[in-house]
Chain A
Amino acid sequence: MKPAPFAYVRARSLDEALGCLVADPEAKILAGGQSLVPMMNMRLARPSTLVDLNAVAELSGVDAAADGGLAIGALTRHTDLVTSPLVRERAPLLATAAAHIGHRAIRNRGTLGGSLAHADPAAELPAAVLALGATLVAAGPGGRRRIAADDFFLGLFATALAADEILVAVETPPHRDAAWGFAEVARRAGDFAIAGAAVAAIPGDVGRSARVRLVAFGVDDRPIRLTAAEIHLGDPALTPDAAAAAGAAAAGCCHPAADVHASAEYRRHLVSVLTEQVVREAAGRRAARREGESRWSQSP
């Protein structure tokens, strides 16, 4: 189980990496290598050049944005998403999703950008980013462009990134009064999900109610918005009753495939169960938070 031969470039800057992609159309970016290298070892991926981003310092790190959101470098490791106080505060959904990935050694290497670019339909981070309504920043030979998460995942392992583009950052929206939930069913802890769901209520502009974004993963060729279920979830309606309705509607939104771990039917069933569960979770968080806030405001 050894990779086919390839050339290796340790890029020192984003521009150098972009240049390599232009120079060799069969080149591939190497980030954490936790998806790419197993595939190379099995010779299921055979890039002619491997462009290693790990030395490009500007691509990692978590920054607080002025609007209360975050700008997270594509090379940020899953472990850092889990442990970063900033991420836990401003995008707890992302931190929780990252904690569900594989095991510690995998999370120590695997990157946010790598997971999004890889776009495994059962992966946690693409679903979290979609639920958050994040914006993905790609750099290409012609400069940078910003892609809404809704427009990024195009299908099985397919994204809006062009072959010569590199994902450089992810911007998550402000999350002050956020309610969120995340759950999945996997065969074992750390496995890719058989099915999962994520929900985030993103605060709207001043005076407007939050948008609730509900996402399922592992049940279609990409993480998907459960729009038919979201209808039941206007902000004030983030209630247990609405959870049941959303759960019931969720199954109809997805087109699961069968594989060795589960049938399409079971996945569809799980989507309903998990949707209901994450909405309840979000509602519970919202209630707890409001209770906490009111107690706070009442205290002298």
Chain B
Amino acid sequence: MTTWVGAPVPRKEDARLTTGRGRYLDDIARSGLLHAAMLRSPHAHARIVSIDVSEAERLPGVLGVLSGAEAAAASQPIRPLIPTPTPLRDWCLAVDRVRFAGEPVAAVAAVDRATAEDAVERIQVAYEPLAPVVDPEAAIEPGAPLLYPELGTNVLWHDVLSYGDVDGAFTRADGVLRERFEIQRYASTPLETFGCIAEHDAGTDTYTFWTNDQRPGFTLAILAESLGVPQSRLRLVCPDIGGAFGNKRRPAYLLTCALLARKTGRPVKYLEDRIENLTALMHACNGVMDVELAYRNDGTVLAFRIRDIADEGKNLVSPTQHNLIKLGNIANGYRIGAIRYEPYSVLTTKCPSGANRGIGKPFMCFAIERTMALLARRLGLDPAELRLRNYVQPAEMPYTTPTGSQYDSGDYPATLRRALERFDYRGRRAEQARARKEGRLLGIGLATSVEPAGTNLASYELITGRRAASGSAEAAMVRIEPDGQVRAALGNPATGQGYETVVAQIVADELGLAPDEVHVARGFDSLGTPSLYLSGSYSNKFSVTDVGAVVGAARKVRDKALRIAAHRLEAAPADLELIDGEARVRGVPGRGLTLREIARTAYADVLGLPPGEDPGLESRHFHSNPLAAPVDERRRVRSQLVFSNAAHCCLVEVERRTGQVRILAYLVVHDCGRELNPGIVEGMVHGSTVHGIGAALLEEFRYDEGGNLLTSTFMDYLKPTALDVPDIDVDHLETPSPFTPLGAKGVGEGGSIPGPAAVANAVEDALAAFVIRSLPITPERVWSWLNLAGETGARRTR
């Protein structure tokens, strides 16, 4: 029997997407559709004294205007994913106060977007500016301006989590390396911006949303609660989604459109423009980390002490996640005896921080892998050798880290060795030495990482002390239609990962078909797609939960089909096999029943069913990954469940006079377990790695002291172009996970995690005399480091 899983099957999606026949949010037409625009705060922090929308309402073409006060009267506050200690009330529009520049204050629905924008200009708002708080360390200080005075602090979470004998390890250590690292705000900026259409059917009092929201389960719950409408009256549809990377969720926009739709009686669309997207959707959390590493002189790493300040901006939906999620890779691939982690989750008057490819883990990996590079330098060890001395060994798998993460599988030393060989690490070191003699600055950077997948929401119990949502799960459906054709759907709307193809591969294998014979629904439709609160595209979870849901659904429907066929063929189900769309009696050529015939029995000739068998040939499966467990008594938790790993090698050249950095070569060796579709996997590796490179060299949301974003267009917020990135070389190992149905592990976040560290390590290696503590590595900063290095060098010789 052919197995489709594991083959680089061309994607089913691509025939439509390469020809312009995709159907994205902005392609959806509804009759009578109105277009919304938003008035956004020009202040980082201000009290709203008054709003006058009358002039906007009078503009021809305007059908409805919504102010914050009106929204607050017509809806309930938005429930956070993670509750704050004191309940904070936050509506879809700012009510009395704005807390970041770009926060929506009012919204207009008009016949077209241009008219809506004309109207927005006519809304008069009187603001009383308040002091902004931009720097997260300043936000912690007593006396800092408070975003929520009722909270009495800007700190949403502060804790000290101690695992193992940390102080003992530091006492016993030969030395301690202390360093401080910072990470900037950046984002994956999907090419399609975020938006929605909301339609209210007054006759049935039901709402339909079309949206490129990547987490429909959670969003539906919020919409129902905030609109005060039973969830049974809500429908949410995701069309093709033009990338998401964690960024695409903002239930507030859906709510705003729903309120405008209710008010005007017409469907209302809102789609961010790019400035709104960059200013107000979501930034990867910036932060400051103080790392202390206790080591022995032979390079053994004994313990870490880490203080981590996460700048949430005005994030009330999912604050603290940027700290918490770091527990998943705080030990990276190393055997570390003891860890102390002191998280601060801090509000500031900036764009909400939020999920962005890798979420928090790129910074964690940056800090650890930078520290390892510095330790190698300090001890005069090769950075590769230092890592090899500290890796968790394959024989130790599954291995539990001090914080409770369970590394399921993988061979970290072999991954690095493969990388060193393929990168010609020794040869390149020699090349580097030669180049240096000619005055050229070449640098080689290594970074290795674990890549966690699947989030166990129970870990939030560490913060709130009680369990709300928990576990990691997804839902899928497989149906053999009355004509024998197969259809599948998944609670996770794809955002570019090619799930239609991969789901078809999985179902094809289970049902003995070819992927072309399995139709997989595009996107998501809450009416037809089974789903959970936990459903959605997030946390690298496809391989951890979604595959299980698909396999489960396919097997259920297969078993039923075989039972029906067995009954009709008067054979035992165990003697049947499904091949080429037919249930055949093993070893008896010619005795079989096609899926079409089986389906006919299931749907039409129901008296032909086995006794006790229900009609129909459809199954739904809700899969919960069994690894998810509650927080234990030592406050350990499996915040994430399954771990891929990778080694990145980067060769850069630094132009001495200008500080410009060029990546000459880049290699990734990774292991994501069984590769369901190697073509797709390779694309994920390339793409995620470029996100890492972008963060390392180009991308930065920069704020001035007043809390104004200075890089709010693609002219100033710099994404890597085809000329900024190298041909990334990719190789892989394949260590299947014992804990996922097909042995697959996460691959979506991939290179975004070690990428920034690999590039920084390479540039630092080229400069040789400077410590890189923050990103991005701009030419100007390199130049200034070269100057500093030059000065200290000169001083040393003097």
Contacts and interface: CB of A to CB of B under 8 A. Distances in A.
Chains A and B share a contact (CB less than 8 Å): yes
Interface of A: 1-5, 38, 42-43, 185, 187-192, 194, 260-263, 266, 269-270, 273
A185 B658 contact: yes
Nearest to A5: B118
Contact of A2 (B114, B710, B711, B783): B114
B117 A266 contact: no
B273 A188 contact: no
B395 interface: no
Contact of B698 (A2, A4, A188): A188
Nearest to B113: A2
Contact of B724 (A42, A188, A270): A188
Contacts of B657: 273
B721 A189 contact: yes
Nearest to B656: A273
A260 B699 CA distance: 11
Interface string B518-530: 0000000000000
A262 B780 contact: yes
B273 A1 contact: yes
A263 B780 CA distance: 8
B274 interface: yes
A43 B715 CA distance: 16
Contact of A187 (B702, B779, B784): B779
A273 B658 contact: yes
A197 to B, nearest CB: 12
Contacts of A42: 275, 713
Contacts of A261: 716, 778, 780
Residue from B114, B658, B718, B784 with most neighbouring chain A CB atoms (10 Å): B658
B660 interface: yes
Interface string B96-133: 00000000000000000110011001000000000000
B714 to A, nearest CB: 10
A255 B434 CA distance: 40
Given A1-B117, A42-B713, A260-B702, 8 more contacts: A1-B274, A43-B117, A187-B698, A187-B778, A189-B721, A261-B780, A262-B780, A273-B657
Given A185-B779, A266-B783, A190 B721 contact: yes
Nearest to A2: B114
B629 to A, nearest CB: 46
Contacts of A5: 114, 118
Contacts of B202: none
Given A187-B698, A266-B783, A260 B721 contact: no
B690 to A, nearest CB: 13
Contacts of B1: none
Interface in B656-706: 657-660, 698, 702
B165 to A, nearest CB: 47
A3 B114 contact: yes
A188 B721 contact: yes
Contacts of A189: 721, 723-724
A273 B273 CA distance: 39
Contacts of A185: 658, 660, 779
B658 A1 contact: no
A42 B716 CA distance: 14
Nearest to A42: B275
A188 B658 CA distance: 13
18 contacts: A2-B113, A2-B114, A2-B117, A3-B114, A5-B118, A38-B715, A187-B698, A187-B779, A188-B698, A188-B718, A189-B724, A191-B715, A260-B710, A260-B711, A260-B716, A266-B659, A266-B779, A266-B784
Interface string B715-729: 110101101100000
A4 B118 contact: yes
Contacts of A38: 715
Nearest to A276: B657
A132 to B, nearest CB: 25
Contacts of A187: 698, 718, 778-779
Q: Which 7 A-B pairs have the closest CB atoms?
A: A1-B273, A2-B114, A266-B780, A189-B723, A273-B657, A260-B710, A2-B117
Contacts of A269: 783
A287 to B, nearest CB: 22
Nearest to B713: A42
A261 B114 CA distance: 32
Residue from A3, A191, A260 with most neighbouring chain B CB atoms (10 Å): A260
A188 B118 contact: no
Nearest to B718: A187
B717 to A, nearest CB: 9
A188 B114 contact: no
Contacts of B780: 261-263, 266
Interface string B592-605: 00000000000000
Nearest to A1: B273
Nearest to A272: B657
A185 to B, nearest CB: 5
Residue from A5, A42, A187, A191 with most neighbouring chain B CB atoms (10 Å): A187
A263 B659 CA distance: 14
B186 to A, nearest CB: 14
Contacts of A188: 698, 718, 720-721, 723-724
Nearest to A4: B118
A5 B118 CA distance: 8
A266 B660 CA distance: 12
Contacts of B702: 260
B275 A1 contact: yes
A223 B117 CA distance: 36
A260 B778 CA distance: 11
A91 to B, nearest CB: 26
Residue from B274, B657, B698 with most neighbouring chain A CB atoms (10 Å): B657
A123 to B, nearest CB: 13
A103 to B, nearest CB: 8
Contacts of B778: 187, 261-262
A260 B700 CA distance: 10
Nearest to A192: B715
B737 to A, nearest CB: 39
Residue from B715, B721, B779, B784 with most neighbouring chain A CB atoms (10 Å): B779
Contacts of A191: 715, 718
Interface in B375-424: none
A240 to B, nearest CB: 15
A2 B778 CA distance: 33
Contacts of A260: 702, 710-711, 716
A5 B121 CA distance: 13
A64 to B, nearest CB: 34
A194 B723 CA distance: 18
A5 B658 CA distance: 44
A188 B784 CA distance: 19
A2 B274 CA distance: 12
Contacts of B724: 188-189
Contacts of A192: 715
B442 to A, nearest CB: 20
Contacts of B716: 260-261
A266 B787 CA distance: 11
A194 B721 CA distance: 18
Residue from B113, B117, B702, B720 with most neighbouring chain A CB atoms (10 Å): B117
A261 B711 CA distance: 10
Nearest to B659: A266
A191 B118 CA distance: 31
Nearest to A263: B780
Interface in B630-676: 657-660
Contacts of B779: 185, 187, 194, 266
Interface string B270-282: 0001110000000
Contacts of A4: 118
Contacts of A266: 659, 779-780, 783-784
Interface in B71-91: none
A263 B783 CA distance: 12
B153 to A, nearest CB: 32
B783 to A, nearest CB: 6
Contacts of B698: 187-188
